[in-house]
Structure 1
Amino acid sequence: MVLEVVSNIMKFYDYLLRRTDIRVKDYPLMQSPVQMTAILFGYLFLVLYAGPRFMANRKPFQLTSAMIIYNFSMVALNAYIVYEFMMSGWATTYTWRCDLCDYSNSPEALRMVRVAWMFYFSKFIELMDTVFFVLRKKHSQITFLHIFHHSFMPWTWWWGITLAPAGGMGSFHAMVNAAVHVIMYFYYGLSAAGPRFQKFLWWKKYMTAIQLIQFVLVSVHISQYYFMEKCDYQVPLFIHLIWIYGTFFFVLFSNFWIQAYVRGKRLPKHSEKSSINGDATIIPNGKHLENGTMVNGNGIAQNGKVKEV
């Protein structure tokens, strides 16, 4: 029985290697699913076990400069990915309805293959989000939703660009996701930059709303497939998975919205609040700590000096 199971797994593995689109075989992390799966297991081990143990008896790292550079770099990367998706079809030849995978070697198809891989690879860079949380001991931010999203997304996208790298209608959700990440990392970058930018962060609540709009757009767009008289999209399994993905994450983020902003479970309790990726932390005695800066009712202490405000 065990030998039969192993044999079937190996047959499926060989099938995948044969089906891998030749245009992506030479890209990093595309030779087999083993590499990316090992990275993701290492990520889970690091952020759920090794990282917290390493930080248990250490003070949180500030990492202000690193976070500013990281977040604004991610803004630039995701903006470029959106542009490339647009120029690879979505703003040129696509109908925004039943757009098929292009398996040719045309310049536009190869451009779509390249940006699809860039989007996939960006998901591994985004694992740094959680690493920053661990090193800064922001344990409340390492939620099931956060871990699941960061580990599941790159794993599923390997299969997507293995079989359909020039994805047609199956790539819409990636373009929308990259656009949302431009906004998200811009917010994180401002947040990490310090108190002088806090007045520009009044729209934090709407970040979750933007995420919800993303999943609505993705689900509505992909749902067209079920109402068209005919659509010969080459890998219909991905259509079903994208619809499930959009709906599932809409439910998860809706629950977060309800808990945070309707029931108020993530709002300050006795003036105590911690926020995400660089935001301030407010503690009960009225002091305001942010990236090593202490603010109280009398002034701001920076590097040991008090400045009246």
Structure 2
Amino acid sequence: MAAILLKAWEGYTFLFEELPDPRTKPWLLVAKPYQGLIILGLYLMFVLNWGPKWMKDRPPFNLDKILIVYNGIQVICCLYLFLGSINYWLWEYRYLCEPVDFSNSAKAVRAAKLVYLYFLLKVIDLLDTVFFVLRKKFNQVSFLHVYHHTGMVMLIWGAVSYYPGGHGTLVGVINSFVHVVMYSYYLLTVAYPSVKKSLWWKKYITQLQIVQFFWCVVHMGLIVFKPDCAYPRWTAAVFLPQNLFMLILFIDFYIKTYIKKPKVSNGVSLSSSIQLNGANGVSKEHTN
């Protein structure tokens, strides 16, 4: 037993003390799996168990003012992240293969800090589900929604702990731009409820999300066919299934919602019921 415990400790030390990037390892939540697991554990327990039980006999909270502030902060942070990182891909990084720069140069350290900010935003994104529960919108706390938010925290934790920069960062750049558009829309729908009636907003946001996932699939798939790439190819096995899954779901949603004729039941069309979900409907459930 002592030998097994010793081996386990050696494995833990290797994975979380020796392998992580020494530049990011001291940062909050980075290279410390127990911290992130505690947050995710509390998140899952609240949105799946504690929250629904607590809200069962309570009226939904009016969180309009909180949502205005929350969505506004999301827009500002995502815009800052997008503008701060797009220059790397416009002028410096190579689209076919971009290794991680592990040096302490100003450019490399700044890239690592941007990846860290992206990770923190994924942690903050967990509040989306908390707000659903507090507003008693339990139908939006779907398996896919919870799985996606949980998985993104875990994936980007791995990125900032081990590979904070390089080829995989384009996923975050694209996603940050999409979130600027998306959270701007949600901000408007809370501040000006009449915007919800503009169905075309949702349609084009959904199209933007489909393009996002397609682009991410192509980008991460490139390193699979480039064996001499210094960026680890195994990361494609982690990111590709996730993005393919989301791409298929979004295309299916788009076809059923905007291309096929909605079915009519008792005088109420399916598209009308979808519209009633409002700004925090199906589209938001499936975004990064």
Query: TM class, shorter-chain normalised?
Result: 0.7 to 0.9
State the partner residue of 1:282.
none
State the partner residue of 1:97.
96
User: Is residue 262–residue 271 contact of structure 2 (8 Å, CA) maintained in 1?
Assistant: no
Counting only pairs closer than 5 Å after superposition, residues 189-200 of structure 1 correspond to structure 2 as: 189-198=187-196, 200=198
Shift of 1:12: 2.8
State the partner residue of 1:289.
none
State the partner residue of 1:231.
229
Distance 1:160 1:135, change over 3 A: same
Higher relative CO (Cα under 8 Å, sequence separation at least 6) belongs to 2
Distance 1:228 1:278, change over 3 A: closer
Structure 2: any 5+ residue segments left out of the alignment?
282-288
* Post-superposition CA distance 1:237-294 (Å, at most 9, x none): 21332222221221233343345444758x8559655314568xxxxxxxxxxxxxxx
State the partner residue of 1:254.
251
Shift of 1:86: 1.9
Distance 1:9 1:66, change over 3 A: same
Question: How many residue pairs were aligned?
Answer: 275
Mean Cα displacement is larger for which, 14-23 or 224-233? Answer: 224-233
| 1:66 maps to 2:63 | no
State the partner residue of 2:219.
221
Which structure shows the bigger proportion of residues in helix conformation? 2
| 1:275 maps to 2:277 | yes
Provide the identity percentage: 35
Paired amino acid for 2:277: S
TM-score by length of 2: 0.86
State the partner residue of 1:131.
130
User: Is residue 160–residue 238 contact of structure 1 (8 Å, CA) maintained in 2?
Assistant: no
Shift of 1:117: 0.3
* Post-superposition CA distance 1:39-94 (Å, at most 9, x none): 0111010001111111111111111111111112101100111112224x213311
Distance 1:41 1:256, change over 3 A: farther
Shift of 1:35: 0.4
State the partner residue of 2:286.
none
Paired amino acid for 1:275: N
Which structure shows the bigger proportion of residues in strand conformation? 1
Task: Give the greater-gyration-radius structure (CA).
Answer: 1
Counting only pairs closer than 5 Å after superposition, residues 1-309 of structure 1 correspond to structure 2 as: 4=4, 9-16=8-15, 17-87=17-87, 89-166=88-165, 168-198=166-196, 200=198, 202-228=200-226, 230-233=228-231, 235-261=232-258, 262=260, 264=262, 268=269, 272=273, 274-277=276-279
User: Is residue 98–residue 225 contact of structure 1 (8 Å, CA) maintained in 2?
Assistant: yes
Distance 1:263 1:22 in 2: 55
Shift of 1:21: 0.7
Distance 2:223 2:256 in 1: 33
